[in-house]
A and B are shown apart, each in its own frame.
Chain A
Amino acid sequence: MGDHHHGPAKGLGRWLFTTNHKDIGTMYLWFSFAMFILGGFFAMVIRAELFQPGMQLVEPAFFNQMTTLHGLVMVFGAIMPSFVGLANWLIPMMIGAPDMALPRMNNWSFWILPPTFLLLASTLFMEGGAPAFGWTFYAPLSTTYAPPSVTFFIFSVHVLGLSSIMGSINIIATVMNMRAPGMTYMKMPLFVWTWLITAFLLVAVMPVLAGAVTMMLMDIHFGTSFFSAAGGGDPVLFQHVFWFFGHPEVYIIILPAFGVVSQIIPAFSRKPLFGYDSMVYATASIAFLSFIVWAHHMYTVGMPVAGELFFMYATMLIAVPTGVKVFNWVSTMWRGALSFETPMLFCLGFLVLFTIGGFTGLMLSIAPADFQYHDSYFVVAHFHYVMVAGAVFSMTAAVYFWLPKWCGKMYNETMGKTHFWISFVGFNLAFFPQHFVGLAGMPRRIPDYALQFADFNMMSSIGAFIYGASQIMFLYNVIATIVSGTPVSDEKVWDGAEGLEWTVPTPAPYHTFETPPKIDPAHAHS
């Protein structure tokens, strides 16, 4: 361990005042896991109510609060912070930097999150209940017709945006300024590339979200009419503004996941990534396209046909760079020497299920067909294939992949593989049947449904319970590893792993790369 410099401070102060990227990364990861459990608990309430037709456990108004909070907590509390945590841990180690560029801001961008989610969760106990207008909070349901707690929701969103923007600025500053000498942009690991692009997306769209909620605030409390037709405003304006944020947002979630998969698949294929350059260009293309496709979420609002056609063609185009990525991963595996440790299993799960989610995404992009798919369970199935099997599976893979590096101990491989298979079966059981009920006409966000949807909903609930329960095994495995895992001291941990983070000792010392590493100029990229 460190032959010079101090280690971490002692006690609670270490965590409260830390400016160390590894500590902050760790806090982000634990926080996001706690939110994953909370959001998962909301999902379990939803699936329990939908287990059978009829109202059994909760009232419709509370059901709507559950769907709303489930979405908000999972998107803003679980998935986004988890990838920020990963970025904190890995980006400095991957580019040979001693820490993030702005360590004090780093501390703050994390520590404003927990109180914000406490505030958001506390709306459940307020008079009128928590926000019940869906995570997309369309006006005027979220303005004129919202419960009083909406003001607290607006404040939460503002602070979350602040945290994301600070985190992104930090990542951009770090990647642009702190790369080790010789680490040119086209030598950066793909995870760093995808996060750099993601950070630009975040800086571009979080202010738009802040604008949307500020307009809501004005409509609710200060008598403006941005989203009220009665005062000359337009409810559809809200949707345009929201989705101008919302569509890049889904790529903000998935691009770092692409980065993770692009690190792990080559490692367990023991073969370099097939097309590094084209992966970078594909990521940038997806990011660009994400700004000009937002209204494909709004095909049924009554846009002029020319607008519909533009958004349909632009959306279909996204299939091209996304296809490039999938083909690249598959070609990387081709004629490699594959092995199937837990991180690789989760990446393969990602590859298959994300591709299915991509296919349904292509189907949804077809405007005329979307008149039948829109706001049905088909959409719910689609975005859970990309959000859960895409983002969450890759995040899980990342934890298994880098955990031994972080704590110097190996997780239980059998339990990891079991976790994968139970997750895989549970996930598909939960979400595959939702394609069927959606196509058969079941709208989303309903607390009760017609009898012809009963069988598939019951399957879906059982699958969701299985998937939910499998996360307890994940938690146990991670804790058991940290507490009593088999020690590993090999710097590389995995024989196929490439990159600077695998050149530091295992476990990674508190301070790494205080002197920049030498980058072999002949080496193409890590």
Chain B
Amino acid sequence: MCFEAKRLFRLALGPVLMLMSAVVMAAGAEVSQVNMRPGVTEVGKEIYDLHMIILWICTIIGVGVFGVMFYSIIYHRKSKGVVPATFHESTKVEIAWTIVPFFILIGMAVPATSTLLNIYDNDDADMDVLITGYQWKWKYEYLDENGENVTFFSNLRTPQNEIYNTESKGEHYLLEVDEPLVLPADTKVRFLVTANDVIHSWWVPDLAVKKDAIPGFINEAWTRTSQEGIYRGQCAELCGKDHGFMPIVVNVVSQGEYDEWLSGKQAEAAEIKELMAQTFTLDQLMERGKSVYDRSCLACHGANGEGGLGNAIANSAVATGDLGEHLEIGINGVPGTAMQAFGGQMNDVDMAAVITYQRNAFGNNMGDMVQPIDVYNHKKG
């Protein structure tokens, strides 16, 4: 017996060590999580229950199968001088192990079907949010019956210095954005999900929502939660270079706070409208332009306009050439390349500022500037 125990120990050593280290890790660092989260929605809890039921069924079957296998490994060894049996084929046994799993599967399929139907129940939503995936950010548009849509982009907020290890990483490293999606609690929100360039996927584990964002098509998903809080997720479909750097943050607040936030956003939009009619000085445009550049251009064109995935801006033919052509590229992009059309995702004030900035920074010294009205006119053609 001692000998067998030793053998068994050796056989089991690998997986046991592995599990032990996993448990130690999980206990040692509270942030390490080993299982799916039930999340904060009814659907999320249903999915979690489904996941746990199937995990347990698999575990029980696994214990049975591996139990038989290890029994053979321990007791039916040639080294113990056993004479091998010669039996093979038994119609009864074979029918049993075909039929029984079939019924187990039916047992799994029933709750799975009901949860799936629930996930697909997109009707009777209280509000709609259009989510558009861009390389590499999300746009949120609150669809309003009166056409007063609130629209904004949500970009990664983690500084490059943290990513490149020159500063210590913050608590929500890579899972923080400049402007989160704000949703009211206890409201059925329907998401209309699409993309502008390549396929992305909008995933927030705590809301149990994952839906592919496909250019040219609109997918639907929905959520409702009563738990206020901040929920974080990421793009789940490979979408190019910065796929790992386009997080999602959802801030669920009370209806009152939401209304206040929404009217704030509407006021902001009105303010932008007003700004669009104004004329700015070069300094004002440069200041605004730098922040726009850092947010929207830096990832491809480099912190000093030195280029990267995109062309260099410092000393480039475009940024030191004809202003109209420069504006054209900024607004309509370069088809067939990674240079997107920013005309639709940037307001005219920001566009004017960033074009001006590109022409007067990084050693470029054109001295000219673009006003919002110029952008407006260019768009009009």
Contact = CB atoms under 8 A, between A and B. Distances in A.
A319 B18 contact: no
B22 A432 contact: yes
B82 to A, nearest CB: 5
Nearest to A271: B84
Given A141-B199, A439-B36, A275 B240 contact: no
Contacts of A272: 86, 88
Q: Is the interface of B mostly helix, strand, loop or mixed?
A: mixed
A355 interface: yes
A522 interface: no
B235 A324 contact: no
Given A271-B85, A330-B69, A448 B216 contact: no
B240 A334 contact: no
Which of B47, B244, B245 neighbours the largest number of chain A CB atoms within 10 Å of its CB?
B244
Contacts of B9: none
A330 B72 contact: yes
Nearest to A60: B241
Contacts of B34: 436, 439-440
Contact of B35 (A236, A301, A439): A439
A300 B88 CA distance: 44
B79 interface: yes
A133 B197 CA distance: 14
Contacts, number: 308
B168 to A, nearest CB: 10
Contacts of B69: 330, 333, 348, 351-352
Nearest to B162: A54
A316 to B, nearest CB: 5
Interface in A297-354: 300-302, 305, 308-309, 312-313, 316-317, 319-320, 323-324, 326-327, 330-340, 348, 351-352
A121 interface: no
Given A275-B89, A330-B65, A424-B14, A229 B54 contact: no
Interface string A38-74: 0000000000000001111000110010000000000
B225 interface: no
A60 B169 CA distance: 18
A144 B14 CA distance: 47
Given A276-B88, A375-B237, A441-B233, A333 B76 contact: yes
A367 interface: yes
Nearest to A332: B88
Interface in B192-245: 193, 197-199, 201, 203, 205, 208-212, 214-217, 219-220, 232-245
A300 B210 contact: yes
Contacts of A258: none
Contacts of A326: 65
A450 interface: yes
A54 B237 contact: no
B375 interface: no
Q: Is the interface of A mostly helix, strand, loop or mixed?
A: helix
B16 to A, nearest CB: 10
Interface string B117-146: 111100000000000000100000000000
B308 to A, nearest CB: 9
Interface stretch (B108-116, B254-262, B270-278, B284-292): B108-116
Contacts of B61: 359
A145 B76 contact: no
A374 B88 CA distance: 41
Contacts of B135: 145
A301 B83 CA distance: 56
Contacts of A323: 97-98, 101
Contacts of B37: 440-441
B212 A339 contact: no
Interface in B27-59: 28-29, 31-37, 46-47, 50-51, 54-55, 58
Nearest to B166: A54
A429 interface: yes
B303 interface: no
Contacts of B31: 451-452
Nearest to A329: B69
Contacts of B235: 443
Interface of B: 14-15, 17-18, 21-22, 25-26, 28-29, 31-37, 46-47, 50-51, 54-55, 58, 61-62, 65-66, 68-69, 72-73, 76-79, 82-90, 93-94, 97-98, 101-102, 105, 108-109, 112-113, 115-120, 135, 162-165, 169, 171-175, 193, 197-199, 201, 203, 205, 208-212, 214-217, 219-220, 232-245, 309, 336, 338
The 8 closest A-B pairs by CB, nearest first: A229-B216, A446-B244, A302-B219, A359-B58, A368-B115, A440-B33, A452-B31, A335-B85
